[in-house]
Amino acid sequence: MKRILTYGTFDLLHIGHINLLKRAKALGDYLIVALSTDDFNAIKGKKAYHSYEERKTLLESVRFVDLVIPENNWEQKVTDVKKYEVDVFVMGDDWLGKFDFLKEHCEVVYLPRTEGISTTKIKNDLGS
CA 25, CA 4: separation in Å to the nearest integer? 7
pLDDT per residue of the chain (128 residues) written in tens, 0 to 9? 999 999 999 998 999 999 999 999 999 999 999 999 999 999 999 999 999 999 999 999 999 999 999 999 999 999 999 999 999 999 999 999 999 999 999 999 999 998 888 888 887 888 85
Annotation says 25 is catalytic: no
Q: Select which of 2, 22, 44, 83 is catalytic.
A: 44
Annotation says 2 is catalytic: no
Q: Select which of 2, 46, 121, 123 is catalytic.
A: 46
The answer to whether the CB of 74 falls within 8 A of the CB of 44 is no
Q: How big is the CA angle at 11 (ends 75 and 119), to the nearest 5 degrees?
A: 105
Which class for 125: exposed (0-12), middle (13-18), buried (19 or more C-beta within 10 A)? exposed
